[in-house]
A = this chain, B = another copy of it.
Amino acid sequence: MSQATSGVGSGTGAAAGATTPSDFPDLPEATVARLPEYLRALHQLADTGHDTVSSEALAAAAGVNSAKLRKDLSHLGSYGTRGVGYEISLLIAQIEHVLGLTQRRGVALVGVGNLGHALAGYAGFGSRGFRVVALFDADPRLVGKTINGLVVRHVDLLVEFAPAEGVAIGVIATPASAAQAVADMLVAAGVTSILNFAPCVLAVPDGVDVRKVDLAIELQILSFHEHRKSAAGGAVAVGAGAEALPR
């Protein structure tokens, strides 16, 4: 949750009827959000020489309840063996298939500033099924530069270049003031999935998914619990134990 997800399906014209539902049962959103975590844990287990894994062990590695994990896997018609567990390689293939990671998706990164630069050089993209295929920025000092083997193009060329580059997902790392305009361009370029790092709400047409990552929000949520802890029993009360401020 916490991210806006434009409805999929429904609206578009006539009922799409047979969409080979056999292949893709309606996975609960909560399950979808956990599958990547399972996938990561599975890769980790595979790298450490394991062959099969029990739901209990995998759940521990992924930090979830084992019953929840089993139910999640059952949703995608999982192939576990009772009394044994799950075959890791098979499960990896299954999850990657469901998540659509069998084809490496192209990512366009817009805004190559502080954060964007770090993202452009991030190795975790490639190992997890993605490939940065295009960089865009508005700053003329950045346009033309090469970062990690990719040349930075001017953002005005986004709509022109993105489709040809095979962009499937757009990542916005510009200041909030530019985010909506960039989102509009991405949509115009046919991108239907956007990851937004700018602290603002984006308006997009139906059928376009937006997920948002906001560092400050995460910190503020932590702050709330911190505040709560110090107000309550007060565990160790670290550092400058400045007490609560009454209203």
The answer to whether A30 and B1 have CB atoms under 8 Å apart is yes
The answer to whether B238 and A190 have CB atoms under 8 Å apart is yes
* Chain-B contact segment, one of A96-104, A136-144, A150-158: A96-104
- Give every chain B residue within 8 A of A227 (Cβ-Cβ): 98-100
Give the Cβ gap from A170 to chain B, nearest Cβ, in Å: 10
The answer to whether A169 and B32 have CB atoms under 8 Å apart is no
**Does A84 reach chain B (CB closer than 8 Å)?**
no
Known: A99-B223, A103-B245. A128 touches B216 (CB 8 A): yes
Neighbour of A100 across the interface among B30, B203, B226, CB < 8 A: B226
Known: A121-B114, A167-B239. A220 touches B101 (CB 8 A): yes
Known: A211-B222, A220-B39. A235 touches B163 (CB 8 A): no
Residue of B nearest to A127 (CB): B216
Total contacting residues, chain A, CB less than 8 A: 110
The answer to whether A246 and B129 have CB atoms under 8 Å apart is no
Give the oligomeric copy count: 2
Known: A1-B1, A192-B238, A239-B168. A63 touches B216 (CB 8 A): no
The answer to whether B242 and A40 have CB atoms under 8 Å apart is no
- Give every chain B residue within 8 A of A222 (Cβ-Cβ): 169, 193-195, 209, 211
- The winner among A167, A219, A246 for most chain B CB atoms within 10 A is A219
Chain A positions 15 through 49: 1 when the CB is less than 8 Å from some CB of chain B, otherwise 0: 01001100110010010111111011100100000
Known: A8-B228, A231-B19, A242-B187. A220 touches B1 (CB 8 A): no
- Give every chain B residue within 8 A of A187 (Cβ-Cβ): 242
The answer to whether B188 and A242 have CB atoms under 8 Å apart is yes
The answer to whether A12 and B233 have CB atoms under 8 Å apart is yes
Chain A positions 162 through 204: 1 when the CB is less than 8 Å from some CB of chain B, otherwise 0: 1111111100000000000000100111111111000111011
A-B residue pairs, 10 tightest by C-beta: A100-B227, A190-B238, A63-B201, A193-B222, A19-B232, A128-B216, A36-B220, A36-B217, A205-B243, A118-B118
Q: Can you name 26 A-B pairs with beta carbons within 8 Å?
A: A1-B1, A5-B225, A12-B235, A19-B232, A24-B228, A27-B224, A61-B201, A100-B230, A101-B223, A105-B226, A106-B239, A122-B215, A124-B216, A130-B216, A130-B223, A163-B238, A165-B239, A166-B239, A168-B238, A169-B219, A169-B226, A188-B240, A190-B239, A190-B240, A192-B237, A203-B245
